[in-house]
Chains A and B, each alone.
Chain A
Amino acid sequence: MVVNALKGINLKICQGEFVAIMGASGSGKSTFMNIIGCLDQPTSGEYLLDDVLTSKMNRNQYSEIRNQKIGFVFQGFNLLARTSALENVELPLMYDTLHRIKDSKKKAVEVLQRVGLGDRMDHFSSQLSGGQQQRVAIARALVNEPALILADEPTGNLDSKTSVEVFGLFQKLNEEGITIVLVTHERDYANFAKRIVELKDGKIIKDHIIEHPLIASEEMLKLNSEELVDAV
C-alpha cells in the first residue's frame, strides 16, 4: 500500500519572505521540509529553488545545493560534540566545492558576532546553553550565505524566554533580507512570521499573510513583567 505523505502541494515563496509552516503530527510537514531542503525528492511534481530545477539531480548535486543555497536549523541543534562553536560554524565552508569564501575563520567569526555570540566562539557546545547552541546553529546556517534558512521546530527544546530571543533573531535576520521558512506547531510562535501556511493530511488547508506579526522585543517585555509579577 502506498502512503502519500503529501498530496498535491502548490506553493510559492519569494525572496525575503518569512513563512511559518504549521501542522499537526502526521500532516506531512516534515516531508515537506525535507523536500524544500533537498534532503528528499518528490515522487511526482517539481521543486524549483532559486530558479534551479531540482529534479533529476544526482546525489552530489543535491549536496551542493544544500551546501550553497540552504541553511538548516534543527530542533535538536545538531552541533558536533567536543567541537568549538567556531569550528561548528566553519563546517559548511569546508564542504563548499566552489570555495566562495576564502577565509573561513574570518567569516565564521563574523556570523557568530551577528547572532550575538562573539564572546563565546571557543566554547564547546556542551558549555553553551540551549539558546546559545541554537544561535550557533543559526550562525552555521548563515555562514555560506544561503538563499534560504530552513528551521524545523527551532525552539522545540527551549524555554519560552529563550524561544522569544531566537525568534527575535529570526526577525532581525529577515529584516536584513534573509528568506526564512520554519516549521512550528505552536501558533503563538508562528505569529512572529509574516505568513502562515497550514498543512493537514498532506494538503495545504490555509495560506494567509499575517498583518501584524508579533514583535519579539515587545513579547520579551511582557515575559519579563510576568516574571516580576510571579516573583511577587
Chain B
Amino acid sequence: MKFKKIIIAAIKSILKSRMRSLLTALGIIIGVAAVIVMVSIGEGAQRQVETQIASLGSNLIIIYPGASNSGGINKGAGSINRFTMEDVDKITNEAVYIKSLSPVVRSGGQVIGGIGNWNTSILGVSPDYLDIRSWVLASGEFFTSKDIVARSKVCVLGSDVKKNLFPDDDPIGALIRIRNVPFKVIGVLQEKGQTAMGVSNDDLILAPSSTVLDRLSGGRFINYIQASATSLALMPEAQTELTRIMRESHNIHTGEDNDFTIMNQADLADAATATTKVLTLLLGSVAGVSLIVGGIGIMNIMLVSVTERTREIGIRLSIGAKAADILVQFLTESVILSFAGGLIGIFLAFGVAYILNNFTSQPAVIQPVIIFVSFAFSGAVGVFFGFYPARKAANLNPIDALRYE
C-alpha cells in the first residue's frame, strides 16, 4: 500500500520537470536501443548464415582431408593424406546410411565458348551432386553414371557462366573448351544467388568427376567428399559409419587419430557463425558501454537534482521524513526513470529493426531474451547510479538544507 504511494509520488515528481527527466533518461534510451539493435544485427547475420547453410541441403555431410584440430597447419610434406576414388568407392560399396554420395574434384581455368571466354571453376562430381546440394536444372539434363564410367566430356553450366558465354542463345548442345579440352554443354543450372560467405554458386561448371580427374586435374586426388544421410535422424549413424570406412580405407589403426574431418551441416553452421558470434559480442559490448555512460548521465542529473531540491529535502526532513524515506524517494525516482528509459529504448529498437528489415539488406532479429536482459539491466543501472545521489540527499542536515537558497 505504501509502496504504491511511493511509486505514484516518484512518478509525479518525475513529471513535474518533464524535459529534465527526458534528458536524464535519454542516455538509457539510447544505450538500451543500441544494445538491442547491435545484438539483433549480429543475430540477423547469424540467421542469414544459418539459412544459407541450411540451403546447402539437409542431411549434408562433408568429409575433407586433414585432422580437425590441425587447423590446416602443414605437418610436413606428404603428411596430409589426400582422398582418392578408392575412398569414394569403398563408401559406395559399404555404407548403409548414406543416400547420396559425390566426390568433388576442384579445377579451374579459362573457358572458351559462345561469344567469348570466361575464367571460372570446374567441379568434378557424381550424378548424385544435384540431389546432395538440392540444386535444380533450369534446362537440359544432368550427366549419369554412364558418363562417369565413360568419362564423357559433358558439362552443366552455372547460370553466371551461361550469362557470360551465351547471353542470348540456348547453350544446350554447344561445344566449349575448358583449358583446351572440348566439352559439350548438356544443361544449365538454375540461378541461386550469393551465399553468406560471398561465394557465388552460379559461377561454376559441373562435369563428371572421372572426366575432370582424367583431363583437368592431374589424375589421382579428389578434394573432398560430400554425402547425404538417408534421414536427418540417422545422421549420427551415418557419420559413425563414414568414420569407420575412411579409417579402414586410410589404414588408420585403433588409437590413432583420424587424418580427415567429417562435418555435418550443424558443424558447418557453427563454424560459419563463429565469426558472427564474435561480432555480435563485440557490437553488444560497445553498446553496453553506451548504456553505462547512460547510467553515469543519470547519476549526474540526479546529483544536480538533489542539489536543486535541497530546500525541498530540508522541508521533508523537518516535518518528519527519515533518512531512509529520502533515500527511497530519490532511488525510486532514479529507478523509474531508468526503467522508463529502458522501455522507450526497447520500442526504439523495434522501430529501428523494422526499418532495417524492411528497407535495407541488413537483417535484424530481436530475441526475447535480449529484451528482458536489457530491461533488467536498465533497472540495475538506475539502482546503481541513483544510489550515490540518493544517499547524499538522505544525509542532508535539515537546518542547513532549509537555509539553502
Contacts and interface: CB of A to CB of B under 8 A. Distances in A.
Q: Are A and B genuine complex partners?
A: yes
Interface of A: 34, 37, 39-40, 59-60, 63-64, 66-68, 72, 74, 78-82, 91-92, 94-96, 140, 144
Given A82-B16, A94-B5, A60 B316 contact: no
Interface in B111-138: none
Contacts of B16: 82
Nearest to B5: A94
B399 A63 contact: no
A91 B13 CA distance: 14
6 contacts: A39-B318, A74-B402, A79-B315, A80-B312, A95-B316, A95-B319
Nearest to B324: A60
Interface centre among B16, B318, B322, B399 (most CB of A within 10 A): B318
B235 to A, nearest CB: 67
B184 interface: no
Given A39-B398, A94-B5, A95-B325, A78 B320 contact: no
B52 to A, nearest CB: 58
Contacts of B9: 94
Contacts of A82: 16
Given A63-B317, A78-B311, A82-B16, A95 B399 contact: no
A95 B399 CA distance: 18
B149 interface: no
Contacts of B311: 78
A66 to B, nearest CB: 5
Interface of B: 5, 9, 16, 311-312, 314-325, 398-399, 402
B372 to A, nearest CB: 34
Nearest to B314: A78
A40 B325 CA distance: 20
Contacts of B399: 34, 39-40
B144 to A, nearest CB: 87
Contacts of A59: 322-323
Contacts of B322: 59-60, 63-64, 95
Contacts of A40: 399
B169 to A, nearest CB: 82
Contact of B318 (A37, A64, A80, A81): A37
B319 A92 contact: yes
A78 B5 contact: no
Given A72-B318, A95-B325, 17 more contacts: A39-B318, A63-B321, A66-B318, A67-B321, A68-B320, A74-B402, A78-B311, A78-B315, A79-B315, A81-B312, A91-B319, A92-B319, A92-B320, A94-B5, A94-B9, A95-B319, A140-B319
A82 B314 CA distance: 17
Nearest to B1: A99
Interface centre among B315, B321, B325 (most CB of A within 10 A): B315
A37 B314 CA distance: 14
A85 B314 CA distance: 18
Contact of B402 (A67, A78, A144): A78
A60 B323 CA distance: 7
A37 B325 CA distance: 20
A79 B314 CA distance: 11
B162 to A, nearest CB: 75
Contacts of A67: 319-321
Contacts of B323: 59-60, 63
Shortest Cβ-Cβ A-B pairs, 8 listed: A67-B320, A95-B320, A63-B322, A92-B319, A82-B16, A66-B320, A95-B321, A78-B315
A200 B108 CA distance: 109
Contacts of B317: 63
A34 B318 CA distance: 10
Contacts of B5: 94
Contacts of B316: 91, 95
B102 to A, nearest CB: 78
B98 to A, nearest CB: 77
Nearest to A104: B5
Contacts of B318: 37, 39, 66, 72, 78
B195 to A, nearest CB: 61
A94 B402 CA distance: 20
A196 B175 CA distance: 124
Nearest to B16: A82
A82 B5 CA distance: 18
Contacts of A74: 402
A118 B398 CA distance: 30
Contact of B320 (A34, A81, A96): A96
A67 B318 CA distance: 8
